[in-house]
Amino acid sequence: MRTHLCGEVNEGLADQPVTLCGWVDRRRDLGGLIFIGLRDHAGVVQVVVEPESPAFGDAESLRNEYCVRIGGTVRMRPESQWNEAMASGKVEVVAERVELLNASAPMPLLMTDEDGEEVRLKYRYLDLRRPRMQRNLRLRARLYRAIRASLDARGFTELETPILTKATPEGARDYLVPSRVQSGQFYALPQSPQLFKQLFMMAGMDRYYQIARCFRDEDLRADRQPEFTQLDIEMAFVEERDVQDLAEAMIREVFRETLAVELPAPLPRLSWREAMERYGSDKPDLRIPLHLVSVDEHVAHVEFKVFAGPANDPGARVAALRLPGGATLSRKQLDEYADYAGRFGARGLAWIKVNDAAAGLGGLQSPIAKYLDDRAWQGIAAATAAASGDLLLFGAAEWLTVSTFMGALRVKAGHDLGLVEAGWRPLWVTEFPMFEWDEGASRFMAMHHPFTAPTVDDAAALLADPGRALSKGYDMVLNGSEIGGGSIRIHRPEMQQAVFGLLGIDPEEAQLKFGFLLEALRYGCPPHGGIAFGLDRIAALMSGEDSIRDVIAFPKTTTAQCLLTGAPSRVPAEQLTELHVRTVD
């Protein structure tokens, strides 16, 4: 039906006939001339229909988003009319034939970024026509091609794992599917292929990957969907650095092939403790040139108990954050920062404006300056590199709490003050705690998942001091987002049983839920490990989108609904009867 794509028409085709297909992006009738912007996935080209053309009458009836085929001759535009913003901006097509393939009803959306998300999702097939969405989805396709090329070249085998599987705890609720042939029994949709990819290693597959669809029944945010896509990688006979080096090389190749971007080599590395201490986050955004500084040693002696108490408590800290030029912030803005920190657990936020760094305590403006002596201030000033015009923010509380809320302030202030640097700043975060204590449940929870190996090889040593145990887990972080997480897995049954016990999973429950895994570990399971990358998040970062919904073809809303199809929906009673299910309103 066509000889070229609209975006391919350029000066190289001057004086040549072309036949194009696409949608009317815009139509202008200047009386004697009709100009049509003809759009397909490759771009837009200007079509001119002259009054003497046999196509003029057909062109007069066209409206936006009509689907058409146009035949004509490519002609150079006068140089004064060149449009450098368009690939076809130096030429136009003089139409000789205009064929209406399909008319369009009046459009229910503007086809611009001004459209609200609800109408965009309801008419997603129209929204996807927009160049922005076309770019996003085609970039995602390039991302997938680059991943496969990189891993295939390294001897990996792409394998599939079941979608209908067994319910297992992965940190969120499962989507359950009732069985028709096994009355009262349910499948679960996989939250990840975790156990099956471990079984592949036990089966001797050695190097596996899969671009896997996963499902989690959880409350949604901008970076969450009930169904999502991840790249799963697993390798046998490896240690942490083997997996990390492979993943790092792959992600570097993927960015090179997809975006023509060179990521640093090697990636910087921080332990979880270092990341929390310096950045207040286990996924720090290194584009923000701000960091937290512990000033405990400088305020431990002051009479200000808000500082002195945490400074003398081994489980707490006093952290300072310097904002260059921040002394110009108003009291209202400071109160807003305090309110923001409160969302993350802060009970208050102390501050000091450094009006004149050379004047010592006399150059400070702060409600807490009266509680400091020269020794305390000189120590704080040196530790934070405070200069005239700076603002210092302080948090004092339990170590993790203060690290978290000061880290959130670091990110907010970095954006508010325009300090976020351009570019890509990936890193590894390693040496995560094996467990975190859940006060509500009064038990340990796995920081990664129950199958992550601890750094100690002896189950008795782990059981003796689980609160201090570190894991062989690691995350890849990019510009403040965790894009990949993995670990070395437990490959001995006695260690797996010990971890289950610490997580409150007794032997009977472990056998019921994970008996097949515990059985498989008994038959010469090799040491193995892997990593999973969130492809929705990576595609969003590459596309410059804030929400992963803008890189997913048909996403759900924040209430897990598909506005296009009306899912989820009720089903006939006879279908429920077949499934042995009865609904309760």
Q: Which residue, among 125, 171, 80, has the nearest Cα to 451 in the 3D structure? A: 171
Pair of tokens at residue 289: 């040139």
528-534 vs 481-488, strand pairing mode: antiparallel
448 has pLDDT over 90: no
Which pLDDT belongs to residue 137? 98
Q: How far apart are CA 268 and CA 428, in angstroms?
A: 6
66 has pLDDT over 80: yes
| Whether the Cβ atoms of residue 151 and residue 581 lie closer than 8 Å to each other | no
Q: How far apart are CA 526 and CA 238, in angstroms?
A: 9
Pair of tokens at residue 203: 């089966």
Which pLDDT belongs to residue 585? 77
Quickly state the pLDDT bin for 83 (edges 50, 70, 90).
very high
pLDDT tens-digit readout, 342-363: 999 999 999 999 999 999 999 9
Cβ neighbour number for residue 149 with a 10 Å cutoff = 14
516 CB-near residues (< 8 Å, 6+ apart): 195
Q: How far apart are CA 547 and CA 130, in angstroms?
A: 17
Q: Which residue, among 202, 267, 262, 264, has the nearest Cα to 241 in the 3D structure? A: 267
Q: How far apart are CA 288 and CA 270, in angstroms?
A: 16
pLDDT tens-digit readout, 390-431: 999 999 999 999 999 999 999 999 999 999 999 999 999 999
520 has pLDDT over 60: yes
CA neighbours closer than 13 Å in the CB half-sphere of residue 469: 31
Q: How far apart are CA 94 and CA 35, in angstroms?
A: 10
pLDDT tens-digit readout, 245-269: 999 999 999 999 999 999 999 999 9
Q: How far apart are CA 290 and CA 385, in angstroms?
A: 12
- 16-20, 435-439, 502-506, range with the lowest pLDDT: 435-439
What are residue 27's DSSP bridge partners? 36
120 has pLDDT over 70: yes
91-102 vs 176-178, strand pairing mode: unpaired
| Whether the Cβ atoms of residue 269 and residue 428 lie closer than 8 Å to each other | yes
386 has pLDDT over 60: yes
What are the backbone dihedrals phi and psi of residue 317, each rounded to the nearest 5 degrees, phi first? -160, 160
Quickly state the pLDDT bin for 223 (edges 50, 70, 90).
low
Q: Which residue, among 284, 272, 276, 315, has the nearest Cα to 452 in the 3D structure? A: 272
Mean pLDDT of all residues belonging to the chain: 95
Which pLDDT belongs to residue 280? 98
Quickly state the pLDDT bin for 31 (edges 50, 70, 90).
confident
* CATH numbers and ranges of domains, the chain: 6-102 (2.40.50.140), 113-270+526-584 (3.30.930.10), 288-420 (3.30.1360.30), 433-470+492-521 (no CATH)
Which pLDDT belongs to residue 220? 66
pLDDT tens-digit readout, 122-177: 999 999 999 999 999 999 999 999 999 999 999 999 999 999 999 875 567 999 99
What are the backbone dihedrals phi and psi of residue 233, each rounded to the nearest 5 degrees, phi first? -130, 135
Could you write out the DSSP letters of every residue in 136-203?
Answer: HHHHHHHHHHHHHHHHHHTT-EE----SSB----SSSBPPEEE-SSSTT-EEE--S-SHHHHHHHHHT
370 CB-near residues (< 8 Å, 6+ apart): none
pLDDT tens-digit readout, 295-342: 999 999 999 999 999 999 999 999 999 999 999 999 999 999 999 999
Ranges of beta strands (E only) in 216-355 are 227-236, 269-271, 292-294, 316-323, 350-354
Which pLDDT belongs to residue 380? 98
Peptide bond into 266 cis (omega under 30): yes
Which pLDDT belongs to residue 222? 59
126 CB-near residues (< 8 Å, 6+ apart): 65, 107, 108, 109, 111
